[in-house]
Amino acid sequence: MINQQMTQLGENSSVIRELFEYGKKRKAEIGEDKVYDFSIGNPNVPCPQEITDIMLRLISETEAAALHGYTSAVGDNGTRQAIAAYMNEKYDIGVDFTDIYMTVGAAASLTISLRAITNPGEEVIVFTPYFPEYKVFIENAGAVCVEVPARAGDFQIDFEKLENAFSEKTAAIIVNSPNNPTGAMLTAETLDELAAFLKAKEVQYGKEIYLISDEPYRELVYDGVQLALPVKHYDNTIICYSYSKSLSLPGERIGYIMVSPKMAGRKKVFATICGAGRSLGFVCAPALMQLVVGQAQGLTSDISAYAENRAIIYNALTEYGFEAVKPDGAFYLFVKSPSGDGGEMSERAKQQELLLVPSDSFGMEGYVRISYCVSKKQIEDSLPAFRALAESYGL
């Protein structure tokens, strides 16, 4: 008998994907430029030209059997050394390349890390709103996803609610800053308080509590805001990184897991990550792309394009009367539904050919998510539709 839980996961595709498919159908009906699809986080800005040049050079100049052969399971040493050097120069964290495990993107980073640091029946805390696949990945490890609402207004951590949700079964907490879907970032003060909280819990329960920091949007920060890096605040941190967003390579599936150099028993944890990768069927990360990112540390796609999009859409929507938190990073705008119902707003927006994701898919009611990693033209063209949507609410 096939596995019913997996059938369900396969048949109930996410609301985001459903909207995306609706959009494709609708575009075929009324024209590509008449539908304003803000549903998915597929970067519109291309990878830097340097990335294309590196790929062409590697493929032209490297002996093919070596270039496309297996790297070791943990990844290419040169690439790991380049990442360690970059992270140490930029964040001064004293990481060694042996703390880095190359992965097939962010999803793999998360499933491997979760499998490594949890046991069946243990709990992992996420803060709502959150990327919905966290729950799927936590359950893949046999663990339980415990949702804790973020603080209203600024999406920082509500420590009273965290205290109430924490139990002797809690193995780990996931943070995601800049955040999908809100674009909010955790402040250094929040991370300090979180570190103190977790250290106290480690003493109370006599075990390590791990902080998983999912950082695909780390490089996408605006207005010169300083990113507070979780691993600088708490030693038992595992970074899950992906180049999907920062280098606009989402389809190439390349990222890494980094264990804090100050983690208790880091060698053991690293070996456990290797074991989890092996168990899940991740043999090595794509070899060509490993070499590419090894030569591309510090590069990003043209983030100014997202900054410009952010300014246009945030200014317009607030002018029309919508309420939204101005995002510090990522490429999402989280907008309050005037009716208090995100699903209702998403449906109503369709009448204006606007595709907005209702926030209940992120574990929180009352908002929609606008993914603004689209062309500037799409944003500009969509503004009359947003104005009409505002007017339909009497704003």
In the region spanning residues 75 to 114, those forming contacts with a copy of itself, defined by CB under 8 A, are 104-105, 107-108, 110-112
Q: At what angle do helices 133-140 and 105-117 cross, to 10 degrees?
A: 40
Shortest distance (Å) from residue 388 CB to a copy of itself: 29
CB atoms within 10 A of CB 203: 9
351/349 Cα distance (integer angstroms): 5
Determine if 136 is a binding residue for a copy of itself (CB under 8 A). yes
In the region spanning residues 12 to 41, those forming contacts with a copy of itself, defined by CB under 8 A, are 40
Among 56, 200, 225, 395, binds a copy of itself (CB under 8 A): 56
Dihedral, CA of residue 267, residue 270, residue 271 and residue 276, to nearest 10: 160
User: Smallest Cα–Cα separation from 291: which of 64, 45, 46, 44?
Assistant: 64
Determine if 51 is a binding residue for a copy of itself (CB under 8 A). yes
Determine if 330 is a binding residue for a copy of itself (CB under 8 A). no
In the region spanning residues 229 to 288, those forming contacts with a copy of itself, defined by CB under 8 A, are 248-253, 265, 268-276, 278-288
Shortest distance (Å) from residue 77 CB to a copy of itself: 12
How many positions of this chain bind a copy of itself (CB under 8 A)? Answer: 79
Determine if 204 is a binding residue for a copy of itself (CB under 8 A). no
Shortest distance (Å) from residue 152 CB to a copy of itself: 31
Shortest distance (Å) from residue 382 CB to a copy of itself: 19
Query: Would you list the DSSP string of 313-343?
Result: HHHHHHHTT--BPPPSBTTEEEEE-TTS-HH
Identify which of residues 115 and 348 has a Cβ nearer to a copy of itself in the complex. Answer: 115
Identify which of residues 61 and 394 has a Cβ nearer to a copy of itself in the complex. Answer: 61
Which secondary-structure segment (H or E) carries 18?
helix 15-30
How long, in residues, is the chain? 395
Identify which of residues 59 and 225 has a Cβ nearer to a copy of itself in the complex. Answer: 59
Burial bucket for residue 14 (CB in 10 Å: 0-12, 13-18, 19+): middle
Determine if 70 is a binding residue for a copy of itself (CB under 8 A). yes
Burial 313-329 (b: 16+ CB within 10 A, else e): bbebbeebebebbebbb
Identify which of residues 6 and 30 has a Cβ nearer to a copy of itself in the complex. Answer: 6
Is it true that the peptide bond before 132 is cis, omega within 30 degrees of 0?
A: no
In the region spanning residues 143 to 202, those forming contacts with a copy of itself, defined by CB under 8 A, are 171
Shortest distance (Å) from residue 326 CB to a copy of itself: 26
